């Protein structure tokens, strides 16, 4: 789960209420790597998160997100669930992915 905090100001509260309290909103998070010379390394990782709720305190707004699809990567569906990836697998199809 990912938590994002904002200051509790009127503008942010109005945005939160207009988005149905952060339910099913989409957050796109892109990570860029830098070289020792502070130049972009040319590779980036983009992750997507889905809003699952929010809370408001006197000073902050907290937005909560969960990963949209944990298994989707650039080589999906080439990856298969194996013992090396997940450890010992159950024999009776009771597999719970979290």
Q: Distance (Å, rounded) from C-alpha 81 to C-alpha 39? A: 37
For Cα atoms 88, 92, 96, give the angle at the middle one, nearest 5 degrees.
Answer: 65
Contact of 65 with 36, CB cutoff 8 Å: no
Residue 12 within a domain = yes
The whole domain housing 36 covers: 2-70
Say if 63 falls within a structural domain: yes
The domain tally of the chain equals: 1
pLDDT category, 23, cuts 50, 70, 90?
confident
Instruction: Judge whether 98 lies within some domain.
Output: no
Q: Which pLDDT does position 74 carry in this prediction? A: 56
Cα-Cα-Cα-Cα torsion 45, 48, 52, 54, nearest 10 degrees, comes to: 60
Residue 94 belongs to a domain: no
Cβ-based neighbours of 80, under 8 Å, separated by 6 or more: none
Establish if 42 belongs to a structural domain. Answer: yes
Structural domain includes residue 13: yes
Asked whether residue 87 is assigned to any structural domain, the reply reads no
pLDDT grade, residue 94 (50/70/90)?
Answer: low
Q: Which residue has the tokens 């990782």?
A: 45
Q: What is the pLDDT of residues 34-77, one digit of tens each?
A: 888 988 888 888 888 888 889 999 999 999 988 866 445 555 55
Residue 66 lies in a domain: yes
- Averaged pLDDT score across all residues of the chain: 79
């Amino acid at each position: 789960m990912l938590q994002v905090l904002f200051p509790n100001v009127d503008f942010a509260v109005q945005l939160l209420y207009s988005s149905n309290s952060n339910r099913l909103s989409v957050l796109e998070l892109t990570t860029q790597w830098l070289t020792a010379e502070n130049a972009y390394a040319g590779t980036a990782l983009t992750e997507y998160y889905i809003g699952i709720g929010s809370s408001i305190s006197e000073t902050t707004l907290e937005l909560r997100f969960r990963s949209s699809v944990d298994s989707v990567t650039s080589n999906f569906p080439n990856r298969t669930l194996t013992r090396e990836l997940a450890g010992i697998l159950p024999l009776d199809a009771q597999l719970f992915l979290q």
